Amino acid sequence: MTNPEPLPHTRNRRALAVAALLFAGMVAAAWYLSFPSSLMIQGEADSTRTDMAARVDGRVAKIFVLRGQNVEAGAALLALDNPELLAKLAEAQAGRAVADAELARIHAGTRSEEVEIRKADLERSIANVALAQETFDRVRSLASSQFASGQRLDQATAALRVAQRSQDQARLAYQQAVAGFTVEEVRMAEAKVVQAAASAATLQAMVDQLVVKAPAPSQVLDIKIEAGEVVAPGVPLLSLVDIRDVWLRFDLREDLSKGLKVGDKFDVRLPALNGRKVTAEVKLIAAKGEYAGWRATRATGDFDLRTFAIRAYPTAPIDGLRPGMSAYADWPNASR
């Protein structure tokens, strides 16, 4: 016995049901495709890095820290040895002491003993002038009576003049001793003190650089030298990272970073912290180098897309976040 054929109205209902299902599927697909899909992007935790170098040369005497060690601001990292520099500092300090002593002597003025000596020299010169004057008068009287020769008169005259000049010189020396040093001499001595102090301070500053210290609380990332090595000024000796200033860095093509602005927030996952989900806020959007991260948008290379460095900071402190840790985020600006 054969089955009866379905009635026409039944076939119509089935066709309508299939058409409705297809239409609903098309609407759902269109609705799904109307929303942009997300793209997983990978970033990395980063922080401020400081390469420490010495301003002077020397031999590495001792290294006080280890890789990965946390140090406070002003903590000694390593010490250099430079005997020649220390000897120059000692010489400069001695020169400063001499200049200070000379200035103190000038400020103190002439010693009383020196004044008495100059006074005694003046009195002796006065007595010599008096004696020379009497001798000259006696010889001149004898010469006028033809009892003394002209040569003897000339000798007496010359002796009188020498005595008078000696008296003038002794008087000036005595006056100088009483008056003390001039203003110009005081200023010169003061200038010598300043010059010696500057020289000593310069060398002291260089000696202070023999001990390399941490500029801020940080962590020792790398040590590039070993004890006993001879290093030159400006050569990096070790690297520090500021663990208080850790951010998340992402490199995005410009088509993915469109619409992104400073202050935007997005969620980030940190695998090293058991996949912890944190919120990060964009603080910096900067274009990278001219040829860094370009990608041709067509095979023919009509134009290129540049890469932007995104720096985002966690909105709350994260214990255990260290530079180099990976970070992942679902980025909504990717097309399917």
Lowest mean pLDDT among 62-76, 143-157, 268-282: 143-157
Confidence of residue 203 (pLDDT cuts 50, 70, 90): very high
The per-residue pLDDT for range 146-190, each reduced to its tens digit, is 777 878 878 888 988 998 899 889 888 877 777 777 788 889 999
The per-residue pLDDT for range 186-200, each reduced to its tens digit, is 899 999 999 999 999
Asked if residues 83 and 56 have their Cβ atoms less than 8 Å apart, the reply is no
How far apart are alpha carbons 12 and 1 in whole angstroms? 25
How far apart are alpha carbons 176 and 106 in whole angstroms? 13
Three-state SS at 8:
helix
Confidence of residue 294 (pLDDT cuts 50, 70, 90): very low
Please name every residue paired with 242 in a beta bridge, in sequence order, or none if there are none: none
Asked if residues 55 and 203 have their Cβ atoms less than 8 Å apart, the reply is no
Longest dimension (CA), the chain: 197
Confidence of residue 334 (pLDDT cuts 50, 70, 90): very low
Q: What is the overall mean pLDDT for the chain? A: 82
DSSP per-residue string spanning 252-314:
EETTTSTT--TT-EEEEEEGGGTTEEEEEEEEEEEE--TTSS-EESSTT---EE-EEEEEEEE
pLDDT of 292 > 50? The answer is: no
- If you classify domain 48-81+212-239 with CATH, what class do you get? mainly beta
Tell me the C-alpha to C-alpha distance, in Å, between residue 291 and each of 43, 74, 165, 309.
20, 40, 90, 13
pLDDT of 310 > 80? The answer is: yes
Phi, psi of 241 (to 5 degrees): -125, 140
How far apart are alpha carbons 271 and 214 in whole angstroms? 31
CATH 2.40.10.10 assigned to domain 37-47+244-331? The reply is: no
Tell me what pLDDT residue 296 has. Answer: 46
Q: What is the mean pLDDT of residues 114-143?
A: 85
DSSP per-residue string spanning 153-193:
HHHHHHHHHHHHHHHHHHHHHHHHHHH---HHHHHHHHHHH
